[in-house]
Structure 1
Amino acid sequence: MERWAGRVAVVTGASSGIGAAIAQELVKKGLKVVGLARRVERVEELANSLESASGKLYSLKCDVSKESDVREAFKWVKSNLGGINILVNNAGVCDFNTLTDGPVQKWRNIIDINVLGLSICTKEALEIMNEKGVNDGHIIHINSITGHGTPFNFYMYSASKHAVTALTEGLRRELVKKNSKIRVTSISPGSVLTELGEASGIPKEVLEDFKDNPFLEAKDVADCILYVLGTPPHVQIHELTIKPVGEPM
């Protein structure tokens, strides 16, 4: 990780859970980290707790479902920090819905954040990397085991994560054609103990079905990010799956 010290990383959905854990670990490794979130005050609190770390956390309000927000955020990164070396697309939502009843707005919200938001952030990051001549950058998508199958009953969420799987491979092929050394990685966790379920409006009785299952901690996923980034520049971890021991799915 030493080669990344002093360089710039952008982490979306950095206000809690996996995103906050990733931002924290990268700052500890000496990176300048821009935490994007709608609940920006939470990122500010985390930044205050990391003042003694070797890196620095910047908080920036951004709703990745809004293209204008994303463009302004990356414009700020370019103007104030000079560029970007790492993008972690972590922002995601798992709104409770069904395919037979909808509601359609919840389907749209999932696609807007999990697929389009991720894609727009990736496009903006790559434009800056290419403009600044960054040929060893890294794009990391926080995927899910549901992006490789259809466990649980959250089929629109699973569909959005299948899209992330396809987008990861698509971007890899595009970068190969351009002779770029920028790497792209999909990280697919199993069950992680975060606020996502409650924040997404999943009914308590549904969450109860999972209460006795084993869970990963958010830091476990953050450690995967450090591992992926720490591999030699000629090594690409294309897909990394992480599950808690004993997970039944």
Structure 2
Amino acid sequence: MVLSMDKWKGKVAVVTGASSGIGEGIVKKLVEEGLVVVGLARRLERMQKQQQMLVHQPGKFHPVQCDIGKETDILRCFDYIKENIGPVHILVNNAGCCISGTLSESDTNSWKTIMDVNVIGLCVATREAVKVMKSKNIEGHIINMNSLAGHFRVQVSGLNLYPASKHAVTSISDTLKNEFATSKTKIKVTSISPGVVDTEIFAVSGLNEFHKAVEENSVPSLSPDDIADAVCYVLSTPPIVNVSEMIIQPVNETI
């Protein structure tokens, strides 16, 4: 199997949750590979700083402010991309949300926020990207950033509705793949499911003890660059090859 990113050079990739962590790492890697990357995230200033750091790379980075939990934001952004940047060839659904709490005690708004970002927003972005791919007859690629928690019961307390939302991503990825197979649509679908990755999500989510354990290296963790490399691997496969699911864990992870 010959691996190459050459077919994507100059093509448009959309990365959600692009302002930090895994999304930031994916943006950097794709721009280095010569792609035109559109980053969608709420924190525009952080993406603009990254844009300045990437100006001398082969590709280009276009930061666009967007709240993936709001459909109107997503639709506005895809209209902007279509009118100003070009047709979408790759979508990386990376934006994710976790709010610490227990299912028996959490409030309804927390559940809605998690599902709006992790599930509904992912589906809306996918729908809009697929519209473009089909209209332009593009053999594109949808990559859903899943989680180990989307497949197994992990031993981290306080994850609330997060595992359920990631199990939904597993099912959504399978459903999309089957839909495209039935319709003979040549769009690849990949679910990438990391174990623990050293990002700010644990601190932001209120999982402070677990965040401290990751920072102190008492819990093995991957880096965002590891996940960015995984994204490039699945993108570099030949047209006949589709990596449907990739589970990637740090060595000695036990959760």
Deviations 1:198-248 (A, max 9, x none): 11222x235345541111000000000000000001100000010000111
- What does residue 74 of structure 2 align with? 70
Q: Which amino acid aligns with 1:223?
A: D
Q: Which amino acid aligns with 2:166?
A: K
Deviations 1:4-59 (A, max 9, x none): 00000000000000000000100000000000000011111111000000000000
Task: Please identify, of 16-25 and 125-134, the stretch whose mean Cα deviation from structure 2 is larger.
Answer: 125-134
Q: 1:107 and 1:45 mapped to 2: Cα distance?
A: 32
Contact 2:198-2:222 at 8 Å conserved across structures: yes
Question: 2:224 pairs with 218, 225, 230, which one?
Answer: 218
- CA apart distance, 1:123: 0.3
- CA apart distance, 1:178: 1.1
Question: 1:247 pairs with 239, 245, 253, which one?
Answer: 253
- CA apart distance, 1:104: 1.7
* Residue correspondence of structure 1 range 70-109 to structure 2 within 5 A: 70-109=74-113
Contact 1:70-1:120 at 8 Å conserved across structures: yes
Contact 2:196-2:221 at 8 Å conserved across structures: yes
- CA apart distance, 1:130: 1.1
TM-score when scaled to structure 2?
0.95
1 or 2 for the larger relative contact order (CA 8 Å, sep ≥6)? 2
Which consecutive unaligned segments of at least 5 residues does structure 2 have? Answer: none
Question: 1:150 pairs with 144, 148, 153, which one?
Answer: 153
Q: 1:86 and 1:109 mapped to 2: Cα distance?
A: 25
- CA apart distance, 1:107: 1.1
Q: 1:42 and 1:200 mapped to 2: Cα distance?
A: 19
Q: 2:211 and 2:20 mapped to 1: Cα distance?
A: 19
Contact 2:51-2:63 at 8 Å conserved across structures: yes
- CA apart distance, 1:106: 1.1
Moved over 6 A (4+): none
TM-score when scaled to structure 1?
0.97
* Residue correspondence of structure 1 range 35-54 to structure 2 within 5 A: 35-54=39-58
Contact 2:106-2:160 at 8 Å conserved across structures: no
Question: 1:173 pairs with 178, 181, 200, which one?
Answer: 178
Aligned residues: 247
Question: 1:160 pairs with 160, 165, 172, which one?
Answer: 165
Aligned CA RMSD, in angstroms, stands at 1.0
- What does residue 206 of structure 2 align with? 201
Q: Using the aligned pairs only, state the percent identity.
A: 46
1:8 to 2:12 alignment: yes
